[in-house]
Amino acid sequence: YIIFPQMTGQLKVKGNTYTVSVDQREYYHDPFWGQLSVAKPLQLNVTPNDLIINVKQLPSPKPSNFSGGVGKFTISSQLKSNDFKTNQVASIVYTITGIGNLKYIQLPDLSTVYPNQIEVYTPTTDVKTHVGSADVSGSISFDYSFMPLEEGNFTLPKIDFVYFNPTSGKYETTTSKSYD
């Protein structure tokens, strides 16, 4: 199991009970063939010990634009078109890739970052993860629809993605590119 604690302090992870099937060998001696064995199926109930884990609090002060991400990440963006018209919907996709708690990541509210002349809608998200032996890697994509309300030249600003890197013990920032 890979766990992502949602609170700090000493937490108890209860050991589950598992039923395990094994072969029990019975050995006997045959006068002609010699030493022989027969396998008989046997089911065992196994209960591992409970675990006590100490979850540390993230360092303070947290940056105001902290995403909730804990791990190692990068951000990229893709503008699906370069030709926009007023009152027509367009799309931009921000993709976070890396190792960590991908399902808990949030991007900043783009309506506070984008120009007032561009209306931004709630994104659709797509999480693609791979669970390894000791971590979760993959990507999460945020597909934002937006609509220019006025004609003119505007900049879709770069987006700073702030996450906590437990290896370095620091908050780190990765940045997407901006578009004119």
* Residues 74-118: tens digit of each pLDDT: 999 999 887 788 999 999 999 999 999 999 999 988 988 999 999
Question: Distance between CA atoms of 49 and 15, rounded to whole angstroms?
Answer: 6
Asked if residue 61 has a cis previous peptide bond (ω within 30° of 0), the answer is yes
User: Which residues in the chain belong to E strands, given as ranges?
Assistant: 9-13, 18-30, 34-46, 51-55, 66-79, 90-100, 118-120, 124-131, 136-148, 160-165, 170-175
Query: Which pLDDT does position 69 carry in this prediction?
Result: 94
Q: Is the pTM of this model over 0.85?
A: no
3-class DSSP state of 175: strand
Query: Which pLDDT does position 4 carry in this prediction?
Result: 86
Does the pLDDT value for residue 30 go beyond 90? no
Contact of 50 with 12, CB cutoff 8 Å: yes
Contact of 26 with 40, CB cutoff 8 Å: yes
